[in-house]
Structure 1
């Protein structure tokens, strides 16, 4: 009897050891998910899971209730989510409002936290006209996003891979001398298109430039790199500005669609493909890398 018991104990130990080895082998052979040419589809652990609803400020009383219900800090977040500034809120306005409100706009980003396809690019500005928002990435990691107002229907911001050229803390508009553009950063030299501070009405409204909040315009002004020139010849491109997507004037505003679908503002596969194409163009352009001698091509309209 004692012999049989000892055999059973030995057999049990062998089975346990084998099970542990199989578990270790499984763990060793699991391959972690990478983002070399995709985005993280699951919500990041540090991103809030929120639900959105539509607040229709039908009357002046509704507007007063809104201003009383939410603090200045909370209203600032709501304004950013609706691509407006405080002067554009009045009775009759529809606003999308999250059920949890923080002062960190990154908690509500419509952009992926990591974008592997641009991880080799030191810095990248992505401007989505479809959702009227910008994103700043450093080696594929999102560091900042915010609302924009891009070019209106008759003067849209040109899609494409552009580069940061020159900048000015204060620029007078070439369209109207009365329009002062703080923290201007040009990314289309000959067309005179760039980012700068100006009013955000909650839809595309500019003459092709990309309007931003003051703090966002100042951040890009200090963060992005300008071109490098040798005389009037372009030696090296500045930070890439990738403009993608089309704003659909016939549909409900994309951020208002969040009340029905949390994915309403996410990248479309077609937009991801456009970014992949931009990356290929970036990598094929020698002006994005150190040059031993100036690259041919005169710059005739440096401002």
Structure 2
């Protein structure tokens, strides 16, 4: 009756790193949830960012727990999605999201005039969680060719990078819009809305790509899937080029006015990384189209 539950399912490298991610992830959001408000920086913006970090840690904890349980009881064949693509997508996206939370949580949320051990421990636990997810993605990527899907390839991981960039940029834009409330700088607010629109479009394109791959629907697309990916990459490059220009303009404006430009610098860095991901992805898509046309 319980033949599906074997010792090797619990002691395999993938199971071990998933349990590592579960333990460190649980420790992270437990520590942050127990923090007193006096240990954190004040302000509605900081409170919103704490909620965003908590959502990130809790979401990927639940997803990893579901994947771990389903993998142990061998029920993944009953799930109507591509299991090998789902696991590497969750692991790679979780590694990026928890890494960014690990970096930005102590910088933006913790009080620098009175550093307490509990927030530091939460930041360290979050870093360990990110390493666990990165290890899981590495192990899946190095499996046999028939055991790993498209999302474990370089173009697939670039799609995850684009998805991460879109999520981070939307969170940053929401923070900036909140900081502009009651501000008379209408031009800056318009630039933010334009950038936000670009990020939403790119995020939706990344989501569509990931959903199509996870649902094994590539062969049912009205447009050839490789051409669709190339079009998405080209649009992403163009939109992120404009978004990067607007980001640099806001950084220079803040520097000229002598204001605090750290949020704008963070947005510019993430936008530049995402633009690089789209550019490399476009190069892979063009190479694939050229190879197929010569075949």
TM over 0.5: no
Q: Which has the higher helix share?
A: 2
The one of the two structures with greater contact order (alpha-carbon pairs below 8 A, sep at least 6) is 2
TM-score normalized with structure 2 length: 0.31
TM-score normalized with structure 1 length: 0.30
Q: Which has the higher strand share?
A: 1
